[in-house]
Amino acid sequence: MVLMAPTEQPGEKTVERFAAKFSAPIIELDLPHELGEIRSGDAYRGADHAAKTLVNETELRVVLIALRPQGRLQEHRAHAPVVLHVLEGHLRLGIDKRTLELAPGGLVAMDADLPHDLEALDECAVLLIIGGKHGRRARNHDAKDA
């Protein structure tokens, strides 16, 4: 996986430059396998949700979350912009005084520091993508909420 960001100089065409240096040039994942590992683990058997960080880089974090039916993540905030992508099941997202219901393939992008909560309406799998720099404060906050 390589992130590219366009740059433009006066009088020049848009060129691509590296936006971040990853610990490996390509990170390839098998999401069904990763989800199976989460669901077969002790953490998932003993709680209403469990999560696994799949990518943990300076400017990008990817977390796979498995939720049991009626599993909840109480209201919290992310200190960076996030994207939620529902892979399986149906999810209710409370955000900005609104309630959104997401089905497989549903995707929501949120700005940093917006309070939100999640509830699985049935067994659910969600890919959480967190952008921006992850300082100590963000890492500690995310660990509590995932």
| Domain boundaries of the chain, sorted by first residue | 30-145
pTM of the model: 0.76
- Relative to beta strand 124-131, strand 60-67 is antiparallel
Mean pLDDT of the chain: 81
Which ranges of the chain would DSSP assign to H, the alpha helix?
31-40, 42-45, 136-145
- Write the pLDDT tens digit of every residue in 64-97: 999 999 999 999 888 899 999 999 999 999 998 8
Contact (Cβ atoms closer than 8 angstroms) between residue 128 and residue 63: yes
SS3 141: helix
Q: What CATH architecture does domain 30-145 belong to? A: Sandwich (2.60)
Residues of the chain above pLDDT 90, percent: 62
DSSP 120-134: ESSSEEEEEEEES--
